């Protein structure tokens, strides 16, 4: 009766091939952008994947803990699938150690805004106390230690063979509660430390929640895929479309929850239009790649589940569920890509500046900066009269009344840049090289100009006028993702094969075996 | 209702146990008899399956109501904010889509919820002023009833209905006749 997953050598071989592909991707990313950029593509890829997969892992334990506390029965058959997702956390710790090593070893790609002494001094005092290498390292070590040690204790408490015993069962609930506390705190903190701190001047108070929702979508999607895979291998035959239905409901609900948080973050910052908030969005919308990926993530993570997965029949169809799960996993990869890839791959300050300015450099720079800190600045007169015949408010007056002093200057600045952008474009090519390369070596200048040109070709004035980032959703990213996925699956199967596929002594097993979703 | 003349002659079969009642329905439907109405003192699990009802289309109605709400909210706000009375709020665009989203969401939910409730009530004749026919008072107490329409049926057919009810564990089988307008 006790069934145990057999981690056969063929599967292992396939996963090792995936890992090899990933290694190739990492090596590629290491050299992809030339040596001058300090291998930022390599570091940001490691961070992105480590963060994403570790998040899925710790979320798996969280989900089971929440169900354990809620006396939920349906999940009993697949509890071990969710909990085994956390097998990756150990590997995540290794990669986190590499990231920490990089920060100490002079690779300031990921956290240059505070890992470089000079940059850190620009932060407010309170933030300096928080974002310094020593304290940061201590926190990262604490998170991973807690996850590995407490995670193991929680898993073994819930997997206990004598869980039918009242005392053991109570202990499993206690451990589940402990995990929820540990997870809630560490998950928020790790999102600030590892992702939000890439730009320590920017902050969002619901960033932890937002990342939590992303972990959730990824974890649920991964669990659905793995259960379907295990079923196709002849394991977990008692799991039927009723269980998949409920797992799918969670994935669907978390997709909507993610959108809610994404939008809450975006809308409030858009609405307030404060430069320190909108900074995050303006920078990304400036770069065509990120403008695309932000809307791509929104489409895949919200529109696709909403439209394709809302029907009962879709959730009960294993093929549709697997398809949506793959979409969601990719979608949240893209979402984390938006968060983690931008800052590290940003071209060093000053480099992008030369691309658009041939002459009259100083004024235009100011204008662009002022215009670039707000998400929108209505250049009034023209638009108002163009679209509307019977405006009751005098345009000029209406716009400035409500604005603060900065807002006003931003308005003017935006109008100015708009008008002048066209002229500058033709001139920049000619005068560019001389102005830009002042004080540079010959080789340096060449590289520098090439970087400028690259940005220029992409979307004319927009790319050149704004910031440029080397990040792209290219082949190195894909290969690295495949490699991490292979590692994740390896650790999953490794963890999953340690014990029977489900705890046959769980007091709620019968409920799970009979689980049936009525019309709802 | 309305133009269709309602039947006034019925046969009632009464059961006193849920399980027997469910099996009886299966057998009776198997023999090709049409059940006019089913009355139970409490919701019986699996009854809709036994009666062969198709899945409710209420959620489709809910989606359509929701879509109406979305469209209405978006188009109304667009009309007001961008065309009819454009005001400049802190330099925002005249068509500030992100700030429309929460209201659009609320209206979608509102329309969907109210629409579904009202549709449900209308479809189940729970509208004010409608006086339902009471076939058998004990169906609100301890009896499960099947109602058969016998308008225009021959004595043989009626006899068949009665014998099937009796043969499937009915504790009582009787005629029920209404007057016009009752």
Phi and psi angles of residue B12, each rounded to the nearest 5 degrees, phi first:
-110, 130
Q: Is the pLDDT of residue B136 over 50?
A: yes
pLDDT of the residue at A385: 40
Mean pLDDT along residues A9-22 = 94
Question: CB-based contact (8 Å) between A275 and chain B?
Answer: no
Answer whether A110's CB lies under 8 Å from A99's CB.
Answer: yes
On the 0-12 / 13-18 / 19+ scale of CB atoms within 10 A, A483 is buried
ipTM of the complex model = 0.73
Given pLDDT bands bounded at 50, 70 and 90, which one contains residue A434?
A: very low
Containing B39, the helix (H) or strand (E) segment is strand B37-39
B91 and A267 in contact by Cβ < 8 A? no
Considering only A395-404, A451-460, B47-56, B113-122, which range has the smallest mean pLDDT?
A: A395-404
Percent of chain A scored above 70 by pLDDT? 75
Q: How far apart are CA B129 and CA B132, in angstroms?
A: 9
Q: How far apart are CA A11 and CA A306, in angstroms?
A: 34
Tokens of A111: 């956290």
pLDDT for residue A426 is more than 80: no
Mean pLDDT in residue range A193-215: 92
**Cα–Cα distance for residue pair A480/A291, rounded to 1 Å:** 23
Of B47, B85, B90, which to mutate for an interface test with A (greatest number of A Cβ within 10 Å)? B90
CB contact under 8 A, B91 and A376: yes
Of residues B132 and A162, which shows the higher confidence score?
Answer: A162
Tell me if A384 and B88 make a contact (CB, 8 A cut-off): yes
Average pLDDT across chain A, whole number? 81
State the pLDDT at residue A193.
93
3-class secondary-structure state, position A262: helix
Compute the half-sphere exposure of residue A214: CA atoms within 13 Å on the CB side of its CA.
30
CB contact under 8 A, A395 and B88: yes
Give the mean model confidence (pLDDT) for residues A67-83.
Answer: 93
Q: How far is CA A124 from CA A120, A136, A190, in A?
A: 9, 16, 21
Higher pLDDT, A515 or A96: A96
CA distance A304 to chain B (A): 16
pLDDT at site A457: 45
- For residue A267, pLDDT over 80 is answered with yes
Contact criterion met (CB < 8 Å) for B90 and A273: yes
Interchain CB distance below 8 Å, A402 and B88 = yes
Q: Is A264's pLDDT higher than 50?
A: yes
Best B88, B98, B99, B112 residue to mutate vs chain A (most A CBs within 10 Å): B88
Domain spans in chain B, listed from the N-terminal domain onward: 9-55+135-177, 58-123
B interface with A, Cβ–Cβ below 8 Å:
55-56, 82-83, 85-94, 98-99, 101-102
pLDDT of residue A96: 95
For range A255-284, the mean pLDDT: 91
Query: CA of A312: which chain B residue's CA is closest?
Result: B59
Nearest CA in chain A to B58: A520
Q: What is the pLDDT of residue B178?
A: 86
Say if residues A90 and A250 touch (Cβ distance below 8 Å): no
Nearest residue of B to residue A388, measured between CA atoms: B83
Contacts of B91 in chain A (CB under 8 A): 273, 374, 376-378, 399, 402-403, 407, 410-411
Q: How far apart are CA A295 and CA A147, in angstroms?
A: 33
| B98: chain A residues, CB-CB within 8 Å | 263, 266-267, 270-271
pLDDT interval class at A351 (50, 70, 90): low
User: What is the band of A359 on the pLDDT scale with cuts at 50, 70, 90?
Assistant: very low
Average of per-residue pLDDT across A454-470: 50
Residue of chain B whose alpha carbon sits nearest to that of A405: B90
Tell me the chain A residues in contact with residue B99 when contact means C-beta distances shorter than 8 Å.
Answer: 267, 270-271
**Banded model confidence at residue A461, pLDDT cuts 50, 70, 90:** very low
What DSSP letter does each residue of A462-488 carry, written as one string? HHHHS--B-----HHHHHHHHHHHHHH
CATH class of B9-55+135-177: alpha beta
Amino acid A167: pLDDT: 93
Instruction: For residue A402, list chain B residues with Cβ-Cβ distance below 8 A.
Output: 88-91
Confirm or reject contact between A519 and chain B (CB < 8 A). yes
At B78-105, the pLDDT tens digits run 999 999 999 888 888 889 899 999 999 9
pTM value is 0.79
Which tokens hold the place of A371?
A: 């215009």
Residue range A207-216: mean pLDDT, rounded: 94
- What's the pLDDT band for A74 if we cut at 50, 70, 90? very high
Across the interface, whether the CB atoms of B91 and A388 are under 8 A apart is answered no
Give which of A471, A451, A459, A470 is closest to A353, Cα–Cα.
Answer: A451
- Tell me the mean pLDDT in the region A443-462: 51
Q: Is the pLDDT of residue A392 over 80?
A: no
Rounded to whole angstroms, how far apart are CA atoms A309 and A314?
6
A402·B89 Cβ contact <8 A? yes
- Between A329 and A371, name the one with better pLDDT: A329
CA distance A397 to chain B (A): 10
Which residues neighbour B77 within 8 Å (Cβ) at sequence distance 6 or greater? B100, B103, B104
Pick from A257, A261, A264, A270 the residue to mutate for testing the B interface (most B CBs within 10 Å).
Answer: A270
Mean pLDDT of A118-129: 84
Q: In Å, how far is B84's CA from the nearest CA of chain A?
A: 8
Predicted local distance difference test score (pLDDT) of residue A421: 44
pLDDT band for position A248 (cuts 50, 70, 90): very high
B94: chain A residues, CB-CB within 8 Å: 378, 383-384, 387-388
Torsion angle, alpha carbons of A61, A66, A70, A71, to 10: 0
- Touching check for A409 and chain B: CB below 8 Å? no
Nearest to A263 among B82, B91, B101 (CB): B101
Q: Pick the residue of A302, A312, A519 with the most B CBs within 10 A to test the interface with B by mutation.
A: A519
Closest CA to A461 of A502, A505, A429, A506: A429
Contact A271 B98 (CB under 8 A): yes
Residues of chain A above pLDDT 90, percent = 52
Residue A400 scores a pLDDT above 80: no
Least confident span in A62-66, A68-72, A148-152, A276-280: A276-280
What mean pLDDT do residues A341-353 have?
69
Q: Please tell me the distance from the alpha carbon of residue A208 to that of residue A188, in angstroms, as a whole number.
A: 4
Segment B22-58, tens digit of pLDDT: 999 999 998 888 898 899 999 988 888 888 888 888 9
> Which candidate, B174, B178, B181, places its Cα nearest to that of B138?
B174
Q: Is the pLDDT of residue A171 over 50?
A: yes
Q: Nearest by CB to B94, from A271, A387, A403: name it.
A: A387
- pLDDT of amino acid B5: 64
Residue A458 has pLDDT above 50, yes or no: no
Q: Which residues of A touch B102 (CB under 8 A)?
A: 267
Decide if A388 and B86 are in contact by the 8 Å CB cutoff: yes
Q: Tell me, what's the pLDDT at B50? A: 87
* CB contact at 8 A, A56 and A26: no
The residue with greater pLDDT, B100 or B6, is B100
């Amino acid at each position: 009766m006790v069934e145990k997953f057999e981690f056969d050598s063929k599967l292992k071989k396939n996963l090792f091939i995936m890992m090899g592909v990933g290694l190739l991707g990492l090596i590629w990313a290491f050299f992809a952008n030339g040596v001058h950029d300090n291998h930022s593509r390599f570091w940001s890829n490691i961070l992105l994947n480590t963060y994403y997969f570790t998040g899925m892992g710790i979320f798996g334990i969280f989900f089971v803990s929440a169900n354990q506390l809620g006396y939920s029965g349906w999940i009993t058959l697949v509890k071990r699938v969710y909990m085994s997702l956390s097998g990756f956390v150990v590997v995540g710790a290794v990669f986190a150690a590499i990231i920490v090593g990089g920060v100490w070893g002079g690779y300031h790609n990921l956290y240059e805004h505070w890992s470089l002494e000079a940059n850190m001094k620009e932060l407010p005092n309170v933030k300096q106390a928080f974002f310094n290498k020593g304290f940061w390292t201590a926190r990262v070590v604490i998170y991973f230690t807690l996850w590995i040690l407490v995670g193991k204790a929680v898993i073994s408490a819930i997997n206990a063979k004598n869980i039918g015993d009242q005392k053991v069962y109570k202990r499993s609930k206690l451990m589940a509660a402990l995990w929820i506390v540990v997870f809630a705190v560490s998950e928020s903190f790790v999102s600030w430390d590892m992702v939000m701190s890439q730009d320590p001047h920017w902050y969002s108070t619901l960033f932890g929640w937002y990342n939590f929702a992303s972990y959730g979508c990824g974890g649920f999607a991964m669990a659905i895929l793995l259960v379907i895979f295990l079923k196709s291998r002849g394991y977990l035959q008692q799991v039927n479309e009723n269980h998949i239905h409920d797992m799918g409901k969670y994935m669907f609900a978390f997709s909507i929850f993610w959108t809610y948080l994404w939008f809450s973050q975006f809308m409030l910052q858009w609405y307030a239009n404060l430069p320190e908030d909108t900074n995050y969005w303006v920078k990304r919308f400036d770069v065509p790649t990120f403008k695309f990926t932000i809307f791509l993530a929104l489409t895949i993570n919200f529109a696709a589940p909403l439209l394709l997965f809302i029907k009962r029949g879709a959730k009960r169809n294993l093929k549709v569920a697997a398809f949506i799960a793959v979409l969601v996993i990719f979608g949240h990869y893209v979402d984390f890509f938006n968060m983690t890839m931008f800052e590290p791959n940003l071209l060093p300050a000053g480099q992008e500046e030369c691309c658009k300015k041939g002459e009259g450099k100083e004024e235009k720079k100011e204008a662009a900066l002022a215009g670039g800190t707000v998400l929108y600045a209505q250049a009034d007169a023209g638009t108002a009269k163009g679209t509307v015949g019977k405006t009751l408010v005098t345009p000029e007056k209406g716009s400035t009344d409500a604005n603060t002093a900065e807002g006003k200057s931003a308005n003017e600045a935006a109008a100015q840049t708009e008008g002048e952008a066209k002229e500058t474009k033709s001139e920049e090519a000619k005068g560019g090289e001389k102005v830009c390369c002042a004080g540079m070596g010959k080789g340096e200048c060449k590289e520098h100009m090439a970087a400028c040109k690259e940005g220029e070709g992409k979307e004319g004035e927009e790319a050149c006028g704004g910031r440029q980032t080397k990040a792209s959703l290219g082949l190195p990213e894909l290969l690295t993702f495949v490699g991490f996925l292979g590692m994740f699956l390896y650790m999953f199967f490794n963890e999953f094969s340690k014990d029977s596929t489900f705890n046959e002594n769980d007091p709620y097993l019968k409920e799970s075996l009979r689980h049936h979703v009525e019309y709802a | 209702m309305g133009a269709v003349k309602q039947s006034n002659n019925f046969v009632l079969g009464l059961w006193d146990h849920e399980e027997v009642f469910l099996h009886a329905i299966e057998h009776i439907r198997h023999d090709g008899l049409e059940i006019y109405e089913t009355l139970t003192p409490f919701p019986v699990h699996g009854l809709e399956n036994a009666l062969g009802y198709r899945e409710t289309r209420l959620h489709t109605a809910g989606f359509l109501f929701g879509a109406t709400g979305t469209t209405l909210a978006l188009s109304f706000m667009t009309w007001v904010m961008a065309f009819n009375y454009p005001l400049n709020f802190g330099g925002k665009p005249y068509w500030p889509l992100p700030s429309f989203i929460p209201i659009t969401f609320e209206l979608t939910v509102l329309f969907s919820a109210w629409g579904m409730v009202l549709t449900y009530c209308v479809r189940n004749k729970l509208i004010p002023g409608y006086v339902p026919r009471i076939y058998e008072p004990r169906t609100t107490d301890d009896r499960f009833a099947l109602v058969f329409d016998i308008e225009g049926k021959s004595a043989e057919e009626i006899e068949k209905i009665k014998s099937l009810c009796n043969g499937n564990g009915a504790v009582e089988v009787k005629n029920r006749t209404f007057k016009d307008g009752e």
